[in-house]
Amino acid sequence: MSSTLVRRAALACALAACLSSTALAQTAAQPTAPPIPAAPCGGDLATFLEGVKADAIKAGATAAAADQAFAGAEIDQKVLSRDRAQGVFRQTFLEFSQRTVSQGRLDIGRQKMKQLSDVFGRAQTEFGVAPGVITASWAMETDFGAVQGDFNTRNALVTLSHDCRRPGLFRPQLIALIEMVQHGDLDPATNTGAWAGEIGQVQMLPEDIIAHGVDGDNSGHINVKTSGPDAILTAAKFIQSMGFTPGQPWIQEVTLPESLPFEKSGLGNEIPASEWFSYGVTPRDGVTSFGNLPAALVLPQGRKGPAFLTYPNFGIYLQWNQSFIYTTSAAYFATRLSGAPPYLKGNPEPGLDDTGMKALQTKLQAHGYDVGKIDGILGSGTRVAVQKEQARLGMPADGWPTQALLSAL
């Protein structure tokens, strides 16, 4: 795994709350990224910045660009406060997806796709990424560029690089920012974005902008903050780099039979889609031509709620953000923009509140399961434990924690 991919995986994990502070605290199971190399941090800020400058020059930047980037740089205490907040927002998939995949956003998204059809056509031709995938991310990240964040990007990255919590993640981003300054693509004094250093209409980090930036409007610069074509094509190239395969689905809504081996459901339990079809899992769009692809059956609110098959292309969402609810909502949003109908809501069983979830985790832990911290969060460890206990108790093992399960333990 390249150092850039390592940092991307680690950032997706470390900053899941920042990238979707409004997303539910359900996390998807992901492989642990290799450790990030240690980096200098702390101490006198001027001395620290001289060290970053030296590293940037070694990487090919000019001293003048580094001096320009760091002129007036300062620690932003609000960034540190946000970094330590670790806020958790608790919404179900139905609540979150219905709020984010609103009719208004769908209408604007379709309008944008029509207005910029030549740009989206280029994104699909050159990078193989469907317009709906890009547009959904554009909507969910910044409301099509309307809400990009108001933190000074340079100061945010200086702060997080200087701070000793995760300097190895952010120092390369700060060095990449210097390169953007050198190219004339970023004004360090005025450029604003998210508190963790993401920039522009699709909220990308400087290192990814340097690696995948596309001058979509032929201005001679890559400006993902103000140029729609630059943002769209840069996002497309970035998504391609994450392994998106042209012509393949990312998520597909399905209906379920009454009887199903639910213990096989969940991310990480991929089997050929054709096997799901043989069990009676039926795509609503009727398309079964991707039966050879590995697919996971995901049930965000259990077997009585919406149901989807996720395919290998869904992996791009998990690289971007590790909130299960956020990623599933974003992938569903992309299908809607690509012509899919609204999902069937079903009638999910009520989930557990925070107190109930903590009580459930305590009981699961007492049964020998590793659920991590008793925090009321339906993470991958808790979901796996729930499935195993549901199966042991003769319940449908759909991984959705309910009062019936809590009472039975």
The answer to whether residue 18 scores a pLDDT higher than 80 is no
What domains are defined for the chain? 3-87+150-199 (1.10.8), 251-337 (no CATH), 354-408 (no CATH)
The answer to whether residue 246 scores a pLDDT higher than 80 is yes
Q: State the pLDDT at residue 21.
A: 36
Q: State the pLDDT at residue 19.
A: 40
pLDDT band at 30 (very low <50, low <70, confident <90, very high): very low
Other Cβ atoms less than 10 A from the Cβ of 108: the count is: 17
DSSP 127-143: H---HHHHHHHHHHHHT
For residue range 182-219, what is the model confidence (pLDDT) as tens digits? Answer: 999 999 999 999 999 999 999 999 999 999 999 999 99
Other Cβ atoms less than 10 A from the Cβ of 2: the count is: 7
DSSP tag of 89: B
For the segment 363-384, the average pLDDT, to the nearest whole number, is 91
Looking at every residue in the chain, the average pLDDT score rounds to 91
Q: State the pLDDT at residue 24.
A: 43
Other Cβ atoms less than 10 A from the Cβ of 227: the count is: 21
For the segment 277-281, the average pLDDT, to the nearest whole number, is 98
For residue range 54-83, what is the model confidence (pLDDT) as tens digits? Answer: 999 999 999 999 999 999 999 999 999 999
pLDDT band at 90 (very low <50, low <70, confident <90, very high): confident
Q: State the pLDDT at residue 12.
A: 56
pLDDT band at 9 (very low <50, low <70, confident <90, very high): low
The answer to whether residue 1 scores a pLDDT higher than 60 is no
For the segment 397-405, the average pLDDT, to the nearest whole number, is 96
Closest CA to 8 of 210, 240, 204: 204
**Which residues, at least 6 apart from 247, have a Cβ–Cβ distance to it below 8 Å?**
128
Q: How far apart are CA 328 and CA 341, in angstroms?
A: 16
Q: State the pLDDT at residue 198.
A: 97
The answer to whether residue 228 scores a pLDDT higher than 50 is yes
Phi first, then psi: give them for residue 252, nearest 5 degrees. Answer: -145, 125
Q: How far apart are CA 238 and CA 257, in angstroms?
A: 38
pLDDT band at 132 (very low <50, low <70, confident <90, very high): very high
Alpha helices in 44-85 (DSSP H): 45-58, 63-70, 77-85
Which H/E stretch holds residue 364? helix 354-366
Q: Which residue has the tokens 């974003």?
A: 330
Q: State the pLDDT at residue 222.
A: 98
Share of the chain above pLDDT 70, in %: 90
pLDDT band at 365 (very low <50, low <70, confident <90, very high): very high
Higher pLDDT, 180 or 18: 180
| 357-362: long-range contacts, CB 8 A cutoff, minimum separation 24 | 357/382, 357/401, 359/406, 360/386, 360/401, 360/405, 360/406, 360/409
